[in-house]
Amino acid sequence: MTYSIIARCPRTGRLGVGTTTFSIACGRRNESVRPNVGISKSQAFYVRATDPLVLNLLAQGFSPQYIMSKLKAMDPDFEYRQIGILDRSGAVSAHTGKDIGQWAGHLVGDGYVAYGNGLAGRQVVEGIVRGFMAQPDARLEHRLLQAIEGGRDAGGQANNGVPRPERSAWIRVVDRLDYPEIDVRVDLHTHAVAAIRRVLEAVLAGR
Amino acid sequence: MSFCIVARCARTGNLGIGIASEHLAGGLQCDGAIRSRIGATLMLHAPTPANNRLAMRLLEQGYAPRHVLSELCANDPDHALRQIAIIDREGRVALYSGVDAHPAAAASEGEACIAMIDSLPGEPVVRALRASYESGASLDLDARILAALEAVDSADAAAMRSVALVVYGAHDYSEVDLRVDMHEQPIAELRRLYDEYQPFGAYYDERAKNPRAALPQREFADMLARKGEGAA
C-alpha cells in the first residue's frame, strides 16, 4: 500500500518525489533521489538496493526504459515490484508487477509517473495526476503535495474495499545542488497527508 | 538551539547520528552526513548544507578527521560561527567549536562519540548525552543514541520541535532513518515511532527477499496488533 508521484518541473528542471503509505517512515528512502541524475522509487515488494542501482545506471547514461528492461531480466520476482524511474531530462519508465495483489497501477506523462498499489482503484492514480496538473505553474513541492492529496481525495489506499490509513508521507525536491532544497517528512501519523501539508507550509514559512 | 550525538559502534562499525532541534525538520541536517563505512559528520550553529558531503568525500579520499576539519574551516569564511563534529570508520574523532559560536555552546568527545549543543542550556546537555551513551555499550547503536537523547533533562529539551535518528551499516542506504519534523514533544514521539517501527524493519527486509512467501503488510500489521492486545 503506497502511492507516489515522481516528477520533473518543466520550468526549472527540479526533480521531486511525493509519496504516502501505510508503512512507517517512507521518507527514509532518501537514496531514491539523486540530484542531476534522476529519481528511482521502487515500492510494493521493493528491494532497498534497487534504487541506488538504477541511479548508478542512469548516471552512466542508460535510459529509464533500458534500465527497466535490465531489472526485469535480472529479478525473478519482478512481477512483485512496482517501480518508477525518471531521468533529469524528464524521460520516464514505469512498471507495475501483476503479482502485487489488490489494485495496483501507474500513469505516465511528460516528466512524471503517478503510481500506487493497494489502492481503492484506478481513480486514485487519476486523482494523483489531476492534483499534479491542477496548478502547472506552481512550485514543484506544491504540485507534489497536491498530487498526493489528489490521490487521497480519490479514495487512497484500500484493502477489499476497506480504507487503510496513510501513516507516513514524504516530499523531497532537489535542484542542481547535491543536497535537497525541500525535504519534509511525517513518519507515523493517523492522517499523514494532512500532516505533511502542515509541515511543508510551516517549513516554507520559516517557522 | 540544537543538540546532537555522532557516534560509531565499536562492535559493528555502524555509524549514527541523533539530533534534536528547536527548528522544524532539524533532521534534514543529517542529509548526506553519514557515508557507510566512511564516516559521519554534523555541523551545528548556522550549518551549511554543502559541508556534509564535502566532509564525507574528503574522508573517502583518505584524509584523517582532523585534516578534514581544517579543510572545512579553510573553505568557509564563517567557520568561527560553527560547531563541527567528524568521526571516521576507525572511530577517530575531530571536534571544532568556533570562537564566535554561542557562549554557552558546548561539545565533548568520548570514545568514538561526540556530543554537541549550540547554545543554552549548554554543558549539562552534553554531559547527559555522553554519560548515557557511554553507559549503553550493550545496546545496538540506534537504541543507544535514542537513549542518549532521552537522557537529556526534559526541561532542557522542552524547546525541541524536531528530532532525527539515523544509522548506516554496510549498505549505501540507511539501516535506520526516523524523523519527527514538527512536534511538541519530539523525543517522546521518536520513541513511539522507534518502538512501532522495530518489527517492521525486519519484515520489509524479508518481504523484499522472498515476496512469494511474504505475508501482506496489512496481515502482518494486524497480527502485531493482536499480539499487542494479547500482551496488554
User: Are B217 and A23 an interchain contact pair (Cβ–Cβ within 8 Å)?
Assistant: yes
Q: How far apart are CA B137 and CA B11, in angstroms?
A: 9
Residue at B209 is within a domain: no
Residue B20 lies in a domain: yes
Question: How far is it, in rounded angstroms, from Cα A24 to Cα B137?
Answer: 27
pLDDT along chain A (207 residues), means of 10: 97 98 96 98 96 98 98 97 98 97 95 97 98 98 98 94 94 96 97 98 92
Cis peptide before B121 (omega within 30 of 0): yes
A27 touches chain B (CB under 8 A): yes
On whether residue B114 sits in a domain, the answer given is: yes
* CA nearest neighbour of B119 among B154, B87, B83, B166: B83
* B212: chain A residues, CB-CB within 8 Å: 77, 80
Which 3 state secondary structure label does DSSP give A93?
strand
C-alpha torsion angle, residues A110, A46, A163, A115 (rounded to 10): 10
Cα B55 from chain centroid (whole Å): 16
Is there a contact between A54 and A46 (Cβ–Cβ < 8 Å)?
no
Distance between CA atoms of residues B111 and A78, nearest Å = 45
**From CA A70, how far away is CA B68, in angstroms rounded?**
39
Query: Coil, strand, or helix at residue B224?
Result: helix
Please report, for residues A197, B84, B120, B178, the alpha-carbon distance to residue B183 in angstroms, rounded to integers and kept in the order given. Answer: 14, 26, 20, 14
Note whether B75 contacts A: Cβ–Cβ < 8 A. Answer: no
Determine, yes or no, domain membership for B198.
no
Report the CATH number at residue B82.
Answer: 3.60.20.10
Q: What's the pLDDT score for residue B230?
A: 65
**Chain mean position to CA A112:** 9
In B, residues 188-217, which contact A (CB 8 Å cutoff)? Answer: 192-193, 196-197, 200, 204-205, 207-209, 211-212, 214, 216-217
Residue B41 belongs to domain spanning: 2-185
Task: Please tell me the distance in Å from B224's CA to the nearest CA on chain A.
Answer: 14
Q: What is chain B's length?
A: 232
Q: Which residues contact B73 (CB under 8 A, 6 or more apart)?
A: B79, B84, B96
B12 touches chain A (CB under 8 A): no
| Alpha-carbon span A104 to A102, nearest angstrom | 6
Decide: A170 and A19 in contact? Cβ < 8 Å.
yes
CA distance B230 to chain A (A): 23
Residue B199 lies in a domain: no
- pLDDT tens for A140-199 read 999 999 999 999 999 999 988 899 999 999 999 999 999 999 999 999 999 999 999 999
State the pLDDT at residue A113.
98
CB contact under 8 A, A45 and B214: yes
- For testing contact with chain A, the best of B19, B22, B24, B212 (most A CBs within 10 A): B24
Q: How many residues does chain A have?
A: 207
What's residue B217's pLDDT?
A: 84
Residue A156 per-residue DSSP state: -
Alpha-carbon gap: B102 to the closest alpha carbon of chain A (Å): 21
B214 secondary structure, DSSP code: P
Q: What is the pLDDT of residue B48?
A: 83
Kindly report the pTM of this predicted structure: 0.94
Query: Is residue B190 in a domain?
Result: no
Spell out, as residue ranges, where chain B has pLDDT lower than 50: 232
In this complex, is the C-beta atom of A46 within 8 Å of any C-beta atom belonging to chain B?
A: yes
Reported ipTM: 0.92
The phi-psi region of residue B141 (left if phi > 0; otherwise alpha if psi is between -120 and 50; otherwise beta) is alpha
Give chain A's domains with CATH numbers.
2-204 (3.60.20.10)
B177–A49 CB contact, under 8 Å: no
B136 within some domain = yes
User: Hey, what's the cell of A44?
Assistant: 510494493
pLDDT score for B35: 97
So what's the pLDDT on residue B231?
A: 56
Do B127 and B142 contact (CB within 8 A), yes or no? no
pLDDT of res. A44: 94
Q: Which residue of A has its CA nearest to B174?
A: A28
Residue of B nearest to A100 (CA): B211
Q: What is the pLDDT of residue B98?
A: 93
User: Do the domain assignments include residue B51?
Assistant: yes
Q: Is B43 helix (H, G, I), strand (E, B) or coil?
A: strand
Instruction: Please state the domain count of chain B.
Output: 1
